[in-house]
Amino acid sequence: MLRVYHSNRLDVLEALMEFIVERQRLDDPFQAEMVLVQSTGMAQWLQMTLASRFGIAANIEFRCRRALSGTCSCAS
């Protein structure tokens, strides 16, 4: 399922990501959660923030939006 969250405020996105990681877990614990980010810097910052909050940030696949365009197709 694709869910889109956007904001110009990093603290809002951080809180939302923490909520999702904590409360809306995937059914399969071995399946990676894919998170689409604007840049690699955003991915690193978000991973460090989650690791700081939870003690670890594992099995989260961060992808830049340009990298996703080759793996995602939209049907018309």
Q: Where are the domains of the chain?
A: 11-17+31-76
Q: What are the pLDDT digits (tens) for 29-53? A: 788 888 888 888 888 988 999 899 8
Tell me: pLDDT of 73 over 60.
no
Strand partners, 46: none
- At 76 the pLDDT is 34
Q: What is the pLDDT of residue 48?
A: 92
Pair 8, 36: CB distance under 8 Å: no
Q: What is the DSSP string of the chain?
A: -------S-HHHHHHHHHHHHHHS--SSTTSPEEEEES-HHHHHHHHHHHHHHHS---SEEEEEHHHHTTT-----
Query: Residue 66: is its pLDDT beyond 50?
Result: yes
Q: Indicate whether 61 pLDDT > 60.
A: yes
pLDDT of residue 51: 92
